[in-house]
Amino acid sequence: MRRDLCDGVGIARLLNATLVLPKFEVAAYWNESSGFADVFDVDYFIQKMSGYIEVVKELPKDIASKEPFKVDCSKRKGQFDYIESVLPSLLEHHYISFTPAMSQRRDRYPEYARATLCQACYSAIRLTSSLEKKAIELLDAIPKPFLSLHLRFEPDMVAYSQCEYPNLSRSSIAAIEAARVDRKPWTGELAQIWRKRGKCPLTPNETVLMLQSLNIPTSTNIYLAAGDGLMEMEGFTSVYTNVFTKSVLLNQEDFTRMHGNTKAALDYHVSINSDAYVATYFGNMDKIVAAMRTYKRMHNTLFLSRKAFAELTSQGLEGVALKKALWEVHKNDFAIGRGFALPDCFCEFEL
């Protein structure tokens, strides 16, 4: 949501268009229908974007009853794609809707559009006052110093990856199968190729091995930035015993009332303010957290290499030998606190 909103602002500036506050997709992932105002401070966003682009809460009455002209932006990457291909539709229909392409080349935008995108991402977006209060409460409750670990091993995540894990418990296997729908796992040689590409999420037990290879003490305070339903956690918590979750640290009544979007917002707030951030996957959450931490010059950020883990284990390495090899893979990134996928942040030169 945050990434698409930032991109949408940059594109609106490219097109010299007015931006209508976006609507989140209903049930796209979290199975809920919370809106922009449930997570972000609307008035603050509009105020901070003043002078960059015009933002309105609702459509003008004369076009409010019309359906927007939908534009496919799946293959748009640079400024000229939008100016040459999308602007004509905007001028013709006056009201268009689109989802920004994930393959944006924001660094190629002209300076005025980059500055607008950066203003949105790093200055204009803040949580609602009630949600920010809850996020601060959560952050204060975590023993310091602490590491925020974004661990992705929920049934839907594993099902989406199309990977197989032969040594899971029966309950985990059943949960994954229920989430697969038509996404059948790769088998045979294709499964090995897929795993060696780094496409398979690390299990909690594999994550333990990775953390130990980096000599991260088992007494480390770890906040689990993760969705509901993490599987196979017994092996992790038996080694790293100081593990904290929002479901335990927050008032139970407050927690049960929260939507998935608001829970994710809390994880984001904690992760950009943690002493260190480690990700076992490289998804949208990790990209935006890494970018914000880079912008704030908090460089203790590391992405664990699933590709290296798969390659080394396929060679038969295990135990001490595997840990030594994993250390060699990560030691440079670990020493400077910079993950292999951590992006350079052009925004720090714009604001």
Q: Which of 244-248, 326-330, 332-336 has the lowest mean pLDDT?
A: 332-336
Please report, as a single letter, which amino acid is at residue 138. Answer: L
What local confidence, expressed as pLDDT, does residue 350 receive? Answer: 41
Q: What percent of the chain has pLDDT over 90?
A: 60
Mean pLDDT (whole number) for 14-43: 76
Q: Which of 98-112, 158-172, 197-211 has the lowest mean pLDDT?
A: 98-112
User: H helices within the chain, ranges in order?
Assistant: 2-15, 36-39, 42-49, 61-64, 79-81, 87-93, 111-119, 129-141, 155-161, 170-180, 188-196, 204-213, 234-239, 246-249, 252-257, 260-272, 284-295, 306-314, 319-336
- Residue 340 region, left (φ>0) first, then alpha (ψ -120 to 50), else beta? alpha
Give the chain's mean pLDDT. Answer: 87
Residue 245: pLDDT over 50: yes
**Contact at 8 Å (CB) between 168 and 244?**
no
**Contact at 8 Å (CB) between 302 and 339?**
yes
Please report, as a single letter, which amino acid is at residue 235. Answer: G
**Contact at 8 Å (CB) between 38 and 69?**
no
CATH class of the region 130-153+201-336: alpha beta
Q: How many CB atoms lie within 10 A of CB 8?
A: 21
Structure tokens at 187: 């088998």
Mean pLDDT (whole number) for 266-287: 93
Q: Kindly state the greatest CA–CA separation across the chain.
A: 69
Q: How far is 324 from 317, CA to CA, in rounded Å? A: 10
What local confidence, expressed as pLDDT, does residue 236 receive? Answer: 97
Residue 306: pLDDT over 50: yes
Q: Which pLDDT band, with edges at 50, 70 and 90, does 351 fall under?
A: very low
Mean pLDDT (whole number) for 281-290: 87
Q: How many CB atoms lie within 10 A of CB 320?
A: 9
Q: Which of 42-46, 227-231, 332-336 has the lowest mean pLDDT?
A: 332-336
Domains in the chain: boundaries: 1-126, 130-153+201-336
Q: Which of 42-46, 231-235, 346-350 has the lowest mean pLDDT?
A: 346-350
Between helix 284-295 and helix 2-15 the angle, nearest 10°, is 70
- Chain segment 112-162, per-residue pLDDT in tens: 998 999 999 899 999 999 999 999 999 999 999 999 999 999 999 999 999
Mean pLDDT (whole number) for 63-89: 81
Question: Which of 219, 40, 43 lies closest to 135, judged by CA?
Answer: 40
- Look-up of token digits 């559009």: 113
**Contact at 8 Å (CB) between 104 and 241?**
no
Mean pLDDT (whole number) for 321-335: 88
Question: Which of 106, 120, 105, 99 lies closest to 46, judged by CA?
Answer: 120
What local confidence, expressed as pLDDT, does residue 177 receive? Answer: 93
What local confidence, expressed as pLDDT, does residue 134 receive? Answer: 94
Mean pLDDT (whole number) for 83-104: 84
